[in-house]
Amino acid sequence: MSDQARKRRLTSVDVAREAGVSRATVSYVLNDTPNQRIPEATRRRVWDAVDRLGYAPSAAARSLRSGRSEVVLALLPDWPFGRMVGAMLEQLAVALADVGLIFVAHPRAGSRRPVAEIWKAISPAAVLTWDPIEPADQAAMRAAGVKVTVGLFQRGDAGGLAVSEQRTGRLQAEHLAARGHRRLGYAFPDDERVLVFAEPRLAGVRSACAELGLDPPDVRTVRIDRPSAVAAVRQWTAGPDPVTAVCAYNDEVAVAVLGGAREVGVSIPTDLAVIGVDDLPLSAIVDPALTTVATDSGGLAAYLAAAVIAGLADEPAPRYPGSDIVELIVRDSA
């Protein structure tokens, strides 16, 4: 390895020298700049030099000059994300790549360092968050050149993802009501970090119950273990007016309830119907197969991509696909 390789970064000066042209010409060739007629022979010389040297322009210099970045940054929240989020992020990356944007995600937003540290280090064109963005952060980002900021969960229960999460809960309750259940239980997760999801889902169940004239749901916290599930099932099924169907926060909690019911000797779905959320791969093969509510991660990704792209073009954001991205999947458990 030549000593220059470790000493100095390769710049367009090196390419220009190697190709026997000026830096400007190099830039024109590399960017295929319109309105610059450069003969094929020169182009080839430049590209050859680039390949030979292994030159790559500095992203820093480029974005300093152009004043814009091609990067979209997602600040992932603290909750444990599984398949669905993973899939959604993949699809988002693809959708953004189609318009020339690079998508990256930072896990564990706000854990140790303030969020500002992160977007400052990346200087993205747009930032996506799950938690709502503080007005102060909002302003700082704007000042630093971040054009678009999308908060999936808006403050209050009004907008954003809360809509489809509520819809998810409604779908659970409506399905159970349609099957004739009058007393519903709700299996709430034992993890503070997922409250952003759990609360709107439960709110959806509550409002559906109210509208359909059912009793309010009997909410119990269920951990992903046997004893917890057993206890919850016992409580739901005891007494003179037992719960006959349970909406679970997600499929994992639902499977825990299934296990608890088996242990208690409560048969599913005859004695107790169970419905989950997420449609995990496993949900179709547990016994009995789990009825659940799936979110169309592709649809969500498409919306987010559209929102970012619109924002970058200073156009109004697209309509939020509140309810049409969740879907009921009926199997055997409810």
Partner DNA sequence: CTGTTAGCGCGTTCAA
Partner DNA sequence: TTGAACGCGCTAACAG
Residues in touch with DNA (CB under 7 A) = 8-9, 11-13, 20-28, 30-31, 33, 36-39, 42, 57-58, 61-62, 64-67
The listed partner (DNA, a second copy, none) that binds 117, CB under 5 to 8 Å by sort, is a second copy
The listed partner (DNA, a second copy, none) that binds 87, CB under 5 to 8 Å by sort, is a second copy
The string of DSSP letters for 240-293 reads SS---EEEESSHHHHHHHHHHHHHHT--TTTT-EEEEES--GGGGTSSSPPEEE
Query: Per-residue x/- marks for a second copy, 57-76, CB under 8 A?
Result: xxxxx-xx--x-xxx-x---
The string of DSSP letters for 137-168 reads HHHHHHHTT--EEEESB-STTSSBHHHHHHHH
Helix (H, G, I), strand (E, B) or coil at 222: strand
Does 99 sit near a second copy (CB under 8 A)? Answer: no
Which residues sit opposite 102 in a β-bridge? 71
| Residue ranges in 211-240 that form contacts with a second copy under rule CB under 8 A | 224-226, 229
The listed partner (DNA, a second copy, none) that binds 105, CB under 5 to 8 Å by sort, is a second copy
Place of tokens 């496993």: 282
Helix (H, G, I), strand (E, B) or coil at 213: coil
Here the tokens at position 278 are: 């997420």
Does 80 sit near a second copy (CB under 8 A)? Answer: yes
| Residue ranges in 1-20 that form contacts with a second copy under rule CB under 8 A | 5, 9-10
Does 89 sit near a second copy (CB under 8 A)? Answer: yes
Shortest separation between residue 129's beta carbon and DNA, angstroms: 23
The listed partner (a second copy, DNA, none) that binds 318, CB under 5 to 8 Å by sort, is none
Does 159 sit near a second copy (CB under 8 A)? Answer: no
Calpha distance 291→278 (Å, rounded):
10
Among 112, 156, 213, 270, binds a second copy (CB under 8 A): 112
Compare residues 137 and 278 and give the one whose CB is closer to DNA.
Answer: 137
Does 143 sit near a second copy (CB under 8 A)? Answer: yes
Does 319 sit near a second copy (CB under 8 A)? Answer: no
- Whether residue 269 has a cis bond before it, omega within 30° of 0: yes
Helix (H, G, I), strand (E, B) or coil at 115: helix
Calpha distance 276→10 (Å, rounded):
55
Segment near a second copy (CB under 8 A); pick from 163-171, 268-276, 278-286, 322-330:
278-286
Compare residues 102 and 306 and give the one whose CB is closer to DNA.
Answer: 102
The listed partner (DNA, a second copy, none) that binds 22, CB under 5 to 8 Å by sort, is DNA
Calpha distance 197→189 (Å, rounded):
10
Max alpha carbon distance in the chain (Å)?
A: 91
